[in-house]
Structure 1
Amino acid sequence: MDFMINVNHKRIKTNGIWLHVAEKGTGPLVLLLHGFPELWYSWRHQIEYLAESGYHVVAPDLRGYGDSDAPLNPNSYTIFHIVGDLIGLLDHFGQQKAYVVGHDWGAVVGWNLSLFRPDRVIGLVNLSVPYFPRSPTTKTTESIRQIFGDGSHVIQFQEPGRAERAFARYDYMTVMKKFLLVTNKMIAPTDMEFIDYLETQSSLPPWLTEEDIRVFAEKFEESGFTGPLNYYRAMDLTWELLAPWQGSKIMVPVKFMVGDKDFGFKSGGTSEFVQGDEFRSLVPDLEVVIVGGHHFIQQENPQEVSSQILSFLRQHPADE
């Protein structure tokens, strides 16, 4: 765990809670926002690379995760709460603007941070999850149910306690392997729990070690999965609260990266959306890059992802 020792860890009070962050380097501030079910550690390669390239890199455990506070009420996990936490981080570090890099749920947060407060964002690099337009009439979970049915993980995660009970049938190492090495579609048969549907790989790929998985597993064993699952349980409340931004565009510079074998990219028309005109109409200053890999591309393909991030940062220099 030498890498973890070389990163500065601290807890910062923001938006009424304490967030744990890992940080390294000096220079313009870069926020790295992880997804589900991950931690700051999913950015271990990018933290090192960007810090050595002249940036102050801050990777929080988002609320509900790891060593950050985890409010019990699902209503405390709307996108406004998460974005509010990050504005507090920018204020703590005395920065009016930062670069933002997000993956999975962290990408959702990055999109909305850029939507609500473009004055705080120099530029955005998002991975795996594009900016989808808000339906004016249909709640998020209903839209997902219409496309993917009741076997979607999003739908199964709605019921408080259901996923937690299903996950508990496995040890934490197995749960993390199932998610981090997912290759099958994120749609389970309706009579099967989603975690049971995910395959358990017999061997690890070169990009992920037992030690890496143990970092995740031990933290989730301490903090549990309810906080992370509450992001899904707040989706419909977020949909209601987002009504004033109906039809709004993301006006900051954006690079969007997605793995060519990502289950999300290949399903539900997402590939066509990402490469089509509607996405570009919603995000006018957009560059799309398709890289090799599945969903967790910053871990699976760290060299290419890191170099793509750095090229974007240098293309959009911070104001002196």
Structure 2
Amino acid sequence: MDYMIEVNHQRIKTNGIWLHVAEKGTGPLVLLLHGFPELWYAWRHQINHLAENGYHVVAPDLRGYGDSDSPLNPNSYTIFHIVGDLVGLLDHFGQQKAYVVGHDWGAVAGWHLSLFRPDRVIGLVNLSVPYFPRSPTTKSTEAIRELYGDGTHVIQFQEPGRAERAFARYDYTTVMKKFLLITDNMIAPPDMEFIDFLDTKSALPAWLTEEDIRVFAEKFEESGFTGPFNYYRAMDLSWELLAPWQGLKITVPVKFMIGDKDFGFKSDGRSEYVLGDDFRSLVPNLEVVVIGGHHFIEQENPQEVSSQILSFLREHPVDQ
């Protein structure tokens, strides 16, 4: 289908799987990492803007998504697998270092690439999901259950097959609208499936077209949602494997952006964390920018997000 944006598509062998990437432009390498439930196409506005301003932009479908491989075993989706895929992309393009931009799960990947391999990251721009310290005693899903109960998507996605069955009651267009247009509470009653809890908006906002929705829906209809769900199902395994990095700081330069109406910013003291000293103590070289929008700000407020990314890249030029 016509994606309304001219990019070069290719599949690259990395870390034992094939990743599909969309790329455009020449210059320093910028990786754009999407979140759940998105694709490379979530970055359509930023790809054009950054390419036009002298950057080589590469936006992969992360493993489990779109035209990339989707391993069957949930244990193949730890944060180490995701970061390994990204290091392989840098090697493929012959780049020792790159700029990294991540949103949602892509932000989680960006945080951990910067944690594990700061030698490969010039600077990091992350959206919507801040860096949280690893609890030394409580597994990730246990901590989330303690905070939010059993109605959160993170908990409901744990059981293999459960979310797949719930999502299957809706067509893919409806699923995408439910997620991309989340504006408020993300905690369902414990006896209700999360996908049933989400509203189906009657009209699209100005920033999202029916054609945009079709791009996402058609790809997820081909690939399904099990790969994306497996990121959640591997969270506790990632927690176990992350023990050796307990307490380490992220030292690369970082700009963090979040929407002022993002549920993750408004709820349970999150804004105090994002704007406070605890976050900065873990990420010492940090700039925080709150912009207008909800969770999917790279699509909802693309001009501001693109401008903020570009200003960061120019403030941190590649070493000559």
Q: TM-score range by the shorter chain?
A: over 0.9
Deviation (angstroms), 1:291: 0.3
d(CA) in 2 for partners of 1:95, 1:279: 30
Root-mean-square deviation (Å): 0.8
Corresponding position of 2:307: 307
Aligned-partner residue type, residue 38 of structure 1: E
Amino acid of the residue matched to residue 284 of structure 1?
Answer: P
Which is worse superposed, 220-229 or 264-273? 264-273
Give, in whole Å, the separation in 2 of the partners of 1:2 and 1:306.
23
Deviation string, structure 1 residues 69-108 (Cα, Å, up to 9, x no partner) = 0000000000000000000000000000000000000000
Q: Deviations over 1:165-219 (max 9, x none)?
A: 0000000000000000011211100010000000000100000000000000000
Among the aligned pairs, what percent are the same residue? Answer: 86
| Alpha-carbon distance in 2 for matches of 1:8, 1:105 | 24
Confirm or deny that 1:71 pairs with 2:71.
Answer: yes
Other structure's SS at 2:201 match = coil
- Structure 2 counterpart of 1:186: 186
Specify the SS of the correspondent of 2:99.
strand
One-letter amino acid of the structure 2 residue matched with residue 77 of structure 1:
Y
Partner of 2:160: 160
Q: Which stretches in structure 2 are left out of the alignment for 5+ residues? A: none
- The ranges of structure 1 where at least 4 consecutive aligned residues each deviate by more than 6 angstroms after the TM superposition are none
Partner secondary structure for residue 151 of structure 2: coil
Structure 1 residue identity aligned to 2:236: D
Q: Which residue of 1 aligns with 2:241?
A: 241
Matched letter for residue 197 of structure 2: Y
Q: Note if 1:12 corresponds to 2:20.
A: no
Aligned residue for 1:45?
45
Please give the alpha-carbon distance, in whole angstroms, between the structure 2 residues aligned to 1:268 and 1:67.
37
The residue number in structure 2 matching 1:209 is 209
State the distance in 2 between where 1:211 and 1:108 align.
28
Tell me which amino acid in the other structure corresponds to 1:112.
H
Listed one character per residue, the Cα deviations across residues 230-256 of structure 1 (whole Å, up to 9, x for unaligned) are 000000000000000001100000000
Q: Deviations over 1:46-66 (max 9, x none)?
A: 000000000000000000000
Structure 1, gaps ≥5 residues long: none
- What is the deviation of 1:3? 4.8
Q: Give me the whole-angstrom Cα distance separating, in 2, the residues matched to 1:26 and 1:200.
A: 40
Matched letter for residue 141 of structure 2:
T
Q: Report if the CA contact (8 A) 2:5-2:44 is conserved.
A: no
SS in 2 for 1:150: helix
Match of 2:85 in 1: 85
User: Which residue number in structure 2 is paired with residue 134 of structure 1?
Assistant: 134
**Could you tell me which residue of structure 2 aligns to residue 276 of structure 1?**
276
Shift of 1:155: 0.3
Aligned residues: 320
TM-score (ref. length: structure 2)? 0.99
1:54 aligns with 2:19: no
Residue identity in the other structure for 1:210: E
Residue 32 of structure 2: SS of its match in structure 1? Answer: strand
Q: Which amino acid aligns with 1:98?
A: A
Instruction: Report the 3-state secondary structure (helix = DSSP H, G, I; strand = E; otherwise coil) of the residue aligned with 1:149.
Output: helix
- The aligned residue for residue 120 of structure 2 is 120
What residue in structure 2 maps to residue 229 of structure 1?
229
Cα pair 1:8 1:24 within 8 Å, conserved = yes
| Partner secondary structure for residue 150 of structure 2 | coil
Residue identity in the other structure for 1:16: G
Give the C-alpha shift of residue 5 in structure 1: 5.8
Measured in 2, the distance between the counterparts of 1:42 and 1:10 equals: 17
- Does the CA-based 8 Å contact 1:184-1:198 persist in structure 2? no
Is the counterpart of residue 317 in structure 1 residue 317 in structure 2?
Answer: yes
CA distance in structure 1 between the aligned counterparts of 2:67 and 2:267, rounded to whole angstroms: 34
